[in-house]
């Protein structure tokens, strides 16, 4: 379990800031607030940690630039507003981080990017590389090409999926609410802030509201759903008011700001359960005795040198079963190479992969973080 006193030990954060915070409730980008958040985020990175920023606000900023007073209902108008607003949004983040000596990188994703396994691995590899370089990725939904209607709260879900993607320790959702209350504080002055709860507590569904009306209208409903998505890879979530002074620094220091939603399982157990329970093998790899021992006893990654056979027509990023010489399944995981590629490199040491394929995506065929014993 994660508690407030353990938050300072976390290393990788995903921070999502809502449109109302960024655009002063639709009146244009709040440069002063940007500078404050960036100072805190850059300080976190300067201290040797990692951070991914998920930024809302493109549609709202586009509306300001275009002089629109009402949020459009037509999809193409929403996409046009997002395209215009994205220019100012990215420039604002880049300018603020540059003053702190930090590079930023724009990452535009759709939900399809995170459900297609090959694209998922590509996005993960890019984000990990940027984090290793000390760059702050600024992620947004690729609104301009989305085929579904844009919905308020989508970036909450996107932030949770990015937390899964990067295996973040903590997801921070900065909003215009102080957290999750046991009743609607706008109707009940005696409503109490829920300081900490298990994310799977069914009582939270009642206080978060439904999809329409109350706190759930683009608000706490989507944030609770996002916290539950993040929890599937063991990520805790803090929901806090973005206008609290030094909000990120105080969360990092362990102060009880907002609502802390704790995952039901430890990180490794949660991720392994997700891999084992939600993904079906698209093929199989037969392993030699040495590879079987390495997986069962050593918690190692699967290397090409330990593979003796390949069955099935699968692509990079799909789930495959790992079997011993007798055909018994001992593990399954996400492969970094397709079936044809593994057929060519099976039995070879990792340093020989480039000579056979002409490239090296990963030294491991299946990384231990993406492999679960069955």
Regarding whether 321 and 222 lie in a shared domain, the answer is no
Domain limits for position 286: 279-373
pLDDT at 149: 44
pLDDT digits (tens, 9 = 90+) for 196-241: 999 989 889 888 865 433 322 347 888 998 999 898 888 999 999 9
Per residue in 256-286, pLDDT (tens digit) is 999 999 997 666 565 665 566 555 688 999 9
Residues 99, 54 within the same domain: yes
Instruction: Say yes or no: 260 and 286 in one domain.
Output: no
Claim to verify: residue 180 and residue 127 sit in the same structural domain: yes
Lowest mean pLDDT among 22-31, 51-60, 155-164, 302-311: 22-31
φ and ψ of 278, to 5 deg: -110, -5
150 with 293, same domain: the answer is no
- Answer yes or no: do 322 and 220 share one domain: no
Maximum distance among all Cα pairs of the chain, rounded to whole angstroms: 69
Q: End of a domain among 248, 271, 294?
A: 271
CATH code of the domain containing 286: 2.30.130.10
Q: Are residues 178 and 267 in the same domain?
A: yes
For position 211, what pLDDT does the model report? 44
Question: At which of 255, 271, 287 does a domain end?
Answer: 271
Two structure tokens written together for 351: 């340093």
Q: Pick the range with the lowest mean pLDDT from 60-69, 208-217, 222-231, 293-302.
A: 208-217
Examine the domain organization and report whether 181 and 330 are in the same domain. no
Q: What is the pTM of this model?
A: 0.75
Counting the structural domains of the chain, the total is 2
Q: Where are the beta strands (DSSP E) in 217-347?
A: 236-241, 259-262, 284-287, 307-311, 319-323, 329-334
């Amino acid at each position: 379990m994660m508690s407030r006193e353990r938050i300072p030990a976390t290393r990788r954060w995903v921070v999502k800031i809502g449109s109302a915070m960024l655009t002063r409730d639709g009146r244009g980008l709040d440069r002063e607030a940007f500078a404050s958040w960036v100072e805190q985020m850059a300080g976190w990175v300067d201290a040797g940690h990692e951070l991914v920023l998920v930024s809302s606000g493109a549609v709202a900023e586009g509306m300001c630039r275009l002089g629109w007073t009402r949020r459009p209902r037509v999809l193409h108008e929403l996409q046009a507003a997002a395209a215009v607003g994205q220019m100012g949004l990215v420039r604002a983040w880049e300018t603020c981080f540059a003053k702190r000596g930090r590079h930023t990188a724009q990452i535009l994703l759709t939900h399809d990017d995170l459900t297609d396994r090959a694209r998922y691995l590509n996005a993960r590899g890019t984000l990990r590389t940027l984090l290793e370089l000390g760059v702050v990725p600024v992620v947004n939904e690729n609104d301009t090409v989305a085929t579904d209607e844009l919905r308020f709260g989508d970036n909450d879900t996107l932030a949770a999926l990015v937390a899964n993607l990067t295996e973040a320790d903590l997801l921070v959702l900065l909003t215009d609410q102080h957290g999750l209350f046991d009743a609607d504080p706008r109707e009940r002055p005696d409503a109490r802030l829920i300081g900490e709860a298990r994310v799977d507590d069914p009582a939270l569904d009642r206080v978060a509201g439904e999809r329409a009306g109350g706190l759930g209208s683009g608000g706490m409903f989507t944030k609770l759903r996002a916290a539950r998505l993040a929890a599937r890879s063991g990520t805790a979530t803090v929901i806090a008011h973005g206008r609290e002074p030094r909000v990120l620094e105080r969360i990092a220091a362990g102060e009880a700001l907002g609502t802390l939603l704790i995952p039901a399982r430890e990180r490794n157990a949660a991720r392994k359960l997700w891999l084992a329970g939600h993904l079906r093998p698209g093929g199989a790899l037969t392993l030699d005795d040495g590879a079987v021992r390495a997986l069962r006893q050593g918690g190692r990654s699967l290397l090409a040198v330990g593979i003796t056979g390949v069955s099935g027509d699968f692509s990079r990023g799909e789930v495959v079963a790992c079997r011993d010489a007798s055909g018994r399944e001992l593990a399954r995981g996400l492969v970094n190479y397709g079936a044809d590629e593994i057929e060519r490199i099976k039995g070879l040491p990792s340093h020989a992969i480039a000579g056979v394929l002409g490239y090296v995506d990963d030294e491991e065929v299946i990384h231990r973080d993406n492999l679960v014993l069955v």
